Amino acid sequence: MVSPSHVPVLLDRVVALLAPALDHDGAVLVDATLGLGGHSEAVLARCTLARVVGIDRDPDALALAGERLAAYGDRFTAVHAVYDEIPEVMADLGLAQVDGVLFDLGVSSLQLDVSERGFAYRTDSPLDMRMDGTTGTTAADVLNTYSAGDLARILKEYGEERFARQIARAVVKARESAPFTTSAQLVELLYDVIPAPARRTGGHPAKRTFQALRMEVNDELAVLRRAVPAAIDALAVGGRVVVESYHSLEDRLVKRAFVEATRSDVPEDMPFVPEGHEPQFRLVTRGAEQADAAEVELNPRAASVRLRALERVSARTSRPTFPDTGAA
């Protein structure tokens, strides 16, 4: 296997956000998107009282991260799972609550840098794109079986591709002659379909299509939609959820979940918040933080990152509900 490069995005900031929650004996961080373990390694090194449960759906990533973090012994536990399975993982490990959950979303360095995985558009490789290569539908399956309407939908929604309909029609026509099997076939089609002026702006012309296919193959938004509330619910008092997103749809979903968690259940026209009805969570970051120009120059993958963090400030309570006054 090729040894991939790995530069964790916003590493120091992520650790700084998690550290206050992990500064006590028995603290547990769930790294829900372990990847090659860069963030987990920094947490284990700097937060010496904490242990880390690393979750990844990619067996290759788990193996490499396990080797990297072996020196930390039983402070690190690797689990093969999808990150919306946080409750099941915690139950299996006998954890009622945790002190931190980290999501570093999107495609990992391993998946991008190892051409055989089919995530990269700059090298010719099989159109796979599964984060867990042992199960599920491949990108080739999507291209060869989806209708033109469904292809256009995912290209527009997940890739924000302006030429989604044109690309979808071209894919359906091309597969009548030969099924799609490699990335070079798709890249060649994209160069033919996307007008030259558009190809000269916004990065590589295949970037949006490959992103859309990856998100569809791995059902990423649906998984995230389940995972973020589960992570929030898993927190102990003082615990934090930190999320790095790289797509506007991901960031919007995270923002919505965080805003909902920090909302009080007190009617808006009530002049004060009664005891016991204060929000159980607070936002740690103001809006979404981004990487600065220096980090983007060193690590281009940081260019699109949006970082958000949330903290539980009070224990779960059984709150009385406010009566319906019948007011319009």
Binding residue per annotation — 104?
Answer: yes
Residue 39 annotated as binding site: yes
Flag whether pLDDT at 111 surpasses 50.
no
The per-residue pLDDT for range 156-192, each reduced to its tens digit, is 999 999 999 999 999 999 999 999 999 999 999 999 9
To the question of whether residue 290 is assigned a binding role by annotation, the answer is no
Tell whether 247 is in a known binding site: no
Question: Span 28-51, mean pLDDT?
Answer: 97
Domains and CATH numbers, the chain: 11-110+220-312 (3.40.50.150), 132-217 (1.10.150.170)
pTM of the full structure: 0.85
The answer to whether the CB of 159 falls within 8 A of the CB of 150 is: no
Is 211 within any annotated ligand binding site?
no
User: Is residue 244 exposed (0-12), middle (13-18) or buried (19+ Cβ within 10 Å)?
Assistant: buried
pLDDT tens-digit series, residues 243-300? 999 999 999 999 999 999 998 766 565 555 655 667 899 999 999 999 999 999 998 8
The two three-digit tokens of residue 119, written as one number: 């995530």
Q: What is residue 9's three-state secondary structure?
A: coil
Counting every residue written for the chain, the total comes to: 328
Q: Which tops the pLDDT comparison, 234 or 122?
A: 234
Say if CB 104 and CB 33 are below 8 A apart. Answer: yes
According to the annotation, is 83 in a ligand binding site?
yes
